[in-house]
Chain A
Amino acid sequence: SQQGEEDPQALSIQEGENATMNCSYKTSINNLQWYRQNSGRGLVHLILIRSNEREKHSGRLRVTLDTSKKSSSLLITASRAADTASYFCARGAQKLVFGQGTRLTINP
């Protein structure tokens, strides 16, 4: 399979804490994207980081990319109950390849 590896598969934290999810991949990339999926819904695009970028921010989200280690991480700061969802990394151009996702649960 071309799918990347994401870890952890599941993460449960208290509201207000930070959540970190990791994504590793095997082939070279032009960019890497992160998506969120709420239960039973379609995916929503969160952020895209290009191969020449090392870090990118969007609100409470911070994404890092280490092309030498072929890995990326997504940090959600000051988590909220509404952040409970599955998070996926994806890479590719014409053919987007998704990781298996991290299921994040924020406990009140």
Chain B
Amino acid sequence: NAGVTQTPKFQVLKTGQSMTLQCAQDMNHEYMSWYRQDPGMGLRLIHYSVGAGITDQGEVPNGYNVSRSTTEDFPLRLLSAAPSQTSVYFCASRRTDTQYFGPGTRLTVL
């Protein structure tokens, strides 16, 4: 199993641009989530999904959209990038209580 994969690993955007961060898992987990991690901080939950077609907001959802059309994929869309969205983004999937994290996407917004 590849586990949780994320693409791209690095991305630089200009303010106002939009993009999609990709996340996929091959463990058939129903629950998937997106977090952001700012320097010296823990992870903060952006959005999560408990199954295909079901999504909900986390702690910091503003500026981000998600959809879940399949069990495997959970993309995160930045609608109009802002410098405050410069961060490292982690996707995770979960079976019971244990979360499995992807390697992260480092995003810089200029």
Contacts and interface: CB of A to CB of B under 8 A. Distances in A.
B41 A48 contact: no
Contacts, number: 55
Contacts of A48: 97-98
A43 B59 CA distance: 19
B55 to A, nearest CB: 12
By size class, the interface of chain A is 20 to 34
Interface in B30-46: 31, 33, 35, 40-45
Main SS at interface, chain B:
strand
Contacts of A100: 40-42
A32 B98 CA distance: 11
By size class, the interface of chain B is 20 to 34
Interface of B: 4, 31, 33, 35, 40-45, 48, 50, 56, 58-59, 90, 92, 97-104
B42 A2 contact: no
A44 B41 CA distance: 16
B99 A43 contact: yes
Interface string A20-34: 000000000001010
Nearest to B100: A45
Contact of B45 (A43, A45, A97): A97
Nearest to A30: B97
A33 B96 CA distance: 12
Contacts of B104: 40-42
Contacts of A88: 42-43
Pick from B40, B92, B97 the residue with the most CB of A within 10 Å: B97
A13 to B, nearest CB: 20
Contacts of B103: 41-42
A48 B97 CA distance: 8
Given A2-B59, A94-B50, A44 B45 contact: no
B101 A96 contact: no
A98 B42 contact: yes
